């Protein structure tokens, strides 16, 4: 889940798999997606799919799902996982947010965690509009903040999230997005995994957290920032 990962997080397939198990283990994001827009039979593009985490979770709910990933090692792992799971409705393809390998109006939903809440993301949003059918929906998963995980992140990252999500004045709302907050968690129940991952991801903040008393999970608030493509005559 890239919204709460530092920029230096490696493109390591094993790390991504372990994070996929630890972040939102209760799969609240899936329920929130279904409340935003029906998923049954829909065609979805998951941009920045990594090892195919969301396509695998969505496979039984949706029609064709495209996992778009530019990193060769992550893309190869996603393709292996899809083949092992015998999921013919998932296609893992090479592409970037600015060059999606899909025709105009090809999908009903674009799901991404690669859109940062600043004007530099506007070209990626335009590319998402291109591949969405009229009335289709762009959904960006980002960090909403105001949670336990914020203490592990760099202060400027947290402030950026807070500014972008403020009601009335935040970047998401100023650019026409609606906000749905998902109250998820980061599971730290496995001690060995916690002591490996937190210092690896968050450095001294992760080490300091583990040295003190702490619960087996951290509150993690994710924002689903969504907007429908305009339906034109």
Q: Decide if pLDDT at 79 tops 50.
A: yes
Helix (H, G, I), strand (E, B) or coil at 52: coil
Do the Cβ atoms of 184 and 221 come closer than 8 Å? Answer: yes
Assigned token pair, 95: 């592409």
Q: What is the distance between the alpha carbons of residues 75 and 82, in angstroms, rounded to a whole number? A: 11
Q: Alpha carbon of 210 to those of 149, 202, 216: distances in Å?
A: 13, 11, 11
Confidence of residue 3 (pLDDT cuts 50, 70, 90): low
Q: Decide if pLDDT at 196 tops 80.
A: yes
Specify which residues 46 forms β-bridges with.
67, 111
Confidence of residue 233 (pLDDT cuts 50, 70, 90): very low
Q: Decide if pLDDT at 215 tops 90.
A: no
Task: For residues 108-117, give the mean pLDDT.
Answer: 95
Tally of residues, the chain: 233
Do the Cβ atoms of 189 and 229 come closer than 8 Å? Answer: no
Q: What is the distance between the alpha carbons of residues 229 and 158, in angstroms, rounded to a whole number? A: 29
27-65 tens-digit pLDDT: 999 999 999 999 999 999 999 999 999 999 998 889 999
Q: Decide if pLDDT at 112 tops 90.
A: yes
Assigned token pair, 32: 């929130």
Q: Look-up: residue for tokens 């990962």?
A: 5
| Domain ranges (residues) in the chain | 2-226
Confidence of residue 140 (pLDDT cuts 50, 70, 90): very high
Query: Given phi > 0 = left and psi -120 to 50 = alpha, else beta, which region is 183?
Result: beta
pLDDT at 31: 95
146-177 tens-digit pLDDT: 999 999 999 999 999 999 999 889 999 999 99
95 CB neighbour count, 10 Å cutoff: 20
% the chain with pLDDT above 90: 78
Q: Which residues contact 107 (CB under 8 A, 6 or more apart)?
A: 42, 43, 44, 45, 66, 131, 132, 133, 136
pLDDT at 7: 65
Helix (H, G, I), strand (E, B) or coil at 136: strand
Helix (H, G, I), strand (E, B) or coil at 62: coil
Q: Decide if pLDDT at 2 tops 70.
A: no
Q: DSSP states of 85-108 as a string?
A: TT-TTEEEE--BTTB-SS-TT-EE
pLDDT at 176: 96
Query: Given phi > 0 = left and psi -120 to 50 = alpha, else beta, which region is 145?
Result: left
Q: Decide if pLDDT at 5 tops 80.
A: no
Q: What is the distance between the alpha carbons of residues 11 and 138, in angstroms, rounded to a whole number? A: 25
- Residue 173, Cα to own-chain centre: how many angstroms? 19
Q: Decide if pLDDT at 8 tops 70.
A: no
pLDDT at 136: 97
Confidence of residue 213 (pLDDT cuts 50, 70, 90): confident
The domain covering 2-226 belongs, at the CATH homologous superfamily level, to: Vaccinia Virus protein VP39 (3.40.50.150)
Q: Decide if pLDDT at 95 tops 60.
A: yes
């Amino acid at each position: 889940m890239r919204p709460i990962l530092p920029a230096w997080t490696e493109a390591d397939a094993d790390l991504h798999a372990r994070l996929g198990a630890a972040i939102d283990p209760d799969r609240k994001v899936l329920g929130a997606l279904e409340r935003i827009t029906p998923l049954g039979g829909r065609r979805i593009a998951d941009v920045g799919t990594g090892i195919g985490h969301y396509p695998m979770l969505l496979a039984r709910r949706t029609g064709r799902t495209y996992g778009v990933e530019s990193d060769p090692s992550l893309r190869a792992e996603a393709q292996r996982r899809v083949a092992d799971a015998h999921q013919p409705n998932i296609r893992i393809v090479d592409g970037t947010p600015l060059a999606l390998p899909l025709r105009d109006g090809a999908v009903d939903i674009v799901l991404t965690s690669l859109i940062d809440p600043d004007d530099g993301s506007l070209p990626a949003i335009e590319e998402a509009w291109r591949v969405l059918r009229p009335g289709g929906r762009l959904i960006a998963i980002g960090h909403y903040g105001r949670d336990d995980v914020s203490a592990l992140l760099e202060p400027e990252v947290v402030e950026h999230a807070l500014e972008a999500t403020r009601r009335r004045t935040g970047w998401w709302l100023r650019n026409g997005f609606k906000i749905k907050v998902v109250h998820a968690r980061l599971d730290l129940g496995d001690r060995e995994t916690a002591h490996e991952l937190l210092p690896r991801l968050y450095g001294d903040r992760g080490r300091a957290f583990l040295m003190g008393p702490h619960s087996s999970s951290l509150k993690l608030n994710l924002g689903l920032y969504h907007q429908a493509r305009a339906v034109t005559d």
